[in-house]
Amino acid sequence: MKKHLLFYLLLPLALAASAQEQVDQAMVQKIRKEGLENSRAMEIAFNLTDVSGPRLSNSPGLKRAQDWAMTVFKDWGLKNVQREAWGTFGRGWQIDKYYAATTLPFYHAIIASPKAWTPGTKGPIKSEVILLKADSLPELEKYKGTLAGKIVMFDQGTALENSYKPDAVRHADSTLAKMEAAVPQESRGRQRSANNMMAQYMRMRTQRANMAKWLTSQNVGLILTYARGGHGTFFTSNGASYDVGAEAVSPELEVSPEDYLHMLRLLRAGKKVEVEADIKTSFYGDDTKGYNVLAEIPGTDKKLKDEVVIIGGHFDSWHAATGATDNAAGATVMMEAMRILKAVGFKPKRTIRVALWSSEEQGLHGSKNYVLNHFGDAKTQKFTPDQKKVSAYYNLDNGTGKIRGVYLQGNSAVAPLFKAWLEPFTDLGAKTITIGNTGGTDHLSFDAVGIPGFQFIQDPMDYNTRTHHTNQDTYDRLVEDDLKQAATIVASFVYHTSERAAMLPRKELPPVAQQ
């Protein structure tokens, strides 16, 4: 029987079961009152962003945020508060100083940021900008011996166009209806397409790495790189490896499109462009381990206290701003949910654990290794006894937008539960469940080992257009009412997951891949 047909056959049963799922309305009202009227979400977010600063993996900013979170958890009365090592990450890095400006044909401060894990300029540098007209390593050879100490940029960049679409949007009812009506999709064709795209990306990445290595061999003073974005916003990335002992690279600035294209037009017209810069960055390699922050409200039921409900979000960010929507917002909501549950005097049957992951931005390292260390290996499907004791993992990592529902991650059996648990929050805009999934974040680590792992549906806001991985991802982009709403709903979900007689149903794991 096809999966989507089975889904439709089971749907009436699921909807009928939703009426049977118990919802503690009295506790929901307590949680709503505490979460919506006594919220400390913005105070938490302020400390994670404005106070702690950028939280790049293994950076001083991430450590500051982790130290603060642990102190707060202890003040709230949470137990087993710890910074737990998950394995080796590599070097930390931060920007100590950045300045760059054109001095010819006129003075203009450049909107840009050093790429992560790239070195500084070893003091002030000033140079005529050399335009490199090369798309491959052989084409660079014509510049050999002429670039030492020079500031260079490539002859590339796309003219900017206005989109005439709003930066920030909320999900329309029609969009949510489409999500609700989704059916399970066959992944075979999509996987082939994804593999082809990845192969193409890896070839391009290798070519760019070889060209960058050649420029380093020529002792260039600074590379200017075109950054995706517009209207003063640019999307940032890393320009080098964070591994200990990684090969040396050149200093590199990721430049806003407007400033890059300004210089490019001048150079293409044969005009002289001069840039001065002074960049200082620091590397941190004394402790190369990666850490997650964990804390708990211990379970009280003799039979169920060893079972666990886990909530989390990644704590690390990129470096061009303070990582407010990615992902101080999600971390704030999960911390606030724990505070709410403590404030209402909740004594859970099952243990409730909050996890603030590190190094999500480099490949879900914090959550993947936590799962590997505690619950087992997704590749071999050899699991520890503790894998069977986790009822659910809930994640938040799609910006500041309020919760509109839940992605079921293909687990249709939880549909009636979540439908019932969302019912008290329809007035706050949360009612949608979809069999579909959103990828790219930490719930996938749990789902891969058979633990029910879920990401909430959130309003997009300006996440993909203005804040995600950009220089504009600051505290000012957070929406207070949305964070309050999200923390309240998460707290209620955690409460009901902890208190129900049985753990959440699990879906069948895929067959182990043949080696």
- The pLDDT value recorded for residue 18 is 46
User: pLDDT by residue (tens digit) across 26-80?
Assistant: 999 999 999 999 999 999 999 999 999 999 999 999 999 999 999 999 999 999 9
- The pLDDT value recorded for residue 360 is 98
What CATH number labels 3-89+288-499?
A: 3.40.630.10
Is pLDDT of 162 > 90? no
Q: Provide long-range contacts, Cβ within 8 A and 24+ apart, for 379-385.
A: 379/512, 379/513, 380/512, 381/449, 381/450, 381/509, 381/512, 383/449, 383/450
SS3 318: coil
> How far, CA to CA in Å, does 282 sit from each of 15, 98, 116, 242, 360?
56, 12, 10, 12, 21
Number of helical (H) and strand (E) elements in the chain, helices listed first:
13, 20
> How far, CA to CA in Å, does 451 sit from each of 116, 270, 305, 389?
34, 61, 18, 9
360 within 8 A of 57, measured Cβ to Cβ:
no
- In the chain, the N- to C-terminal Cα span, in Å, equals 29
Mean predicted confidence (pLDDT) in 315-334:
98
d(CA 26, CA 295): 26
- The pLDDT value recorded for residue 206 is 86
Q: Side-chain half-sphere of 492: how many Cα atoms within 13 Å? A: 32
User: pLDDT by residue (tens digit) across 209-266?
Assistant: 899 999 999 999 999 999 999 999 999 999 999 999 999 999 999 999 999 999 999 9
What CATH number labels 92-284?
A: 3.50.30.30
Is pLDDT of 15 > 50? no
Per the structure block, which two tokens stand in for 58? 């293994």
Q: Domain segments of the chain: what residues? A: 3-89+288-499, 92-284
Is pLDDT of 1 > 50? no
**4: pLDDT confidence band, cut at 50, 70 and 90?**
very low
User: pLDDT by residue (tens digit) across 123-148?
Assistant: 999 999 999 999 999 999 999 999 99
User: pLDDT by residue (tens digit) across 416-437?
Assistant: 999 999 999 999 999 999 998 8
User: pLDDT by residue (tens digit) across 171-225?
Assistant: 999 999 999 999 876 555 555 665 677 677 778 888 888 999 999 999 999 999 9
3-89+288-499 and 92-284, same CATH topology: no
Mean pLDDT score of the chain, rounded to an integer? 93
- The pLDDT value recorded for residue 185 is 67
93 within 8 A of 281, measured Cβ to Cβ:
yes
Residue 68, Cβ density class (10 Å: 0-12 exposed, 13-18 middle, ≥19 buried): middle
Weakest mean pLDDT among 152-156, 199-203, 310-314: 199-203
User: pLDDT by residue (tens digit) across 342-364?
Assistant: 999 999 999 999 999 999 999 99
Mean predicted confidence (pLDDT) in 70-92:
98
pTM of the predicted model as reported, rounded to 2 decimal places? 0.93
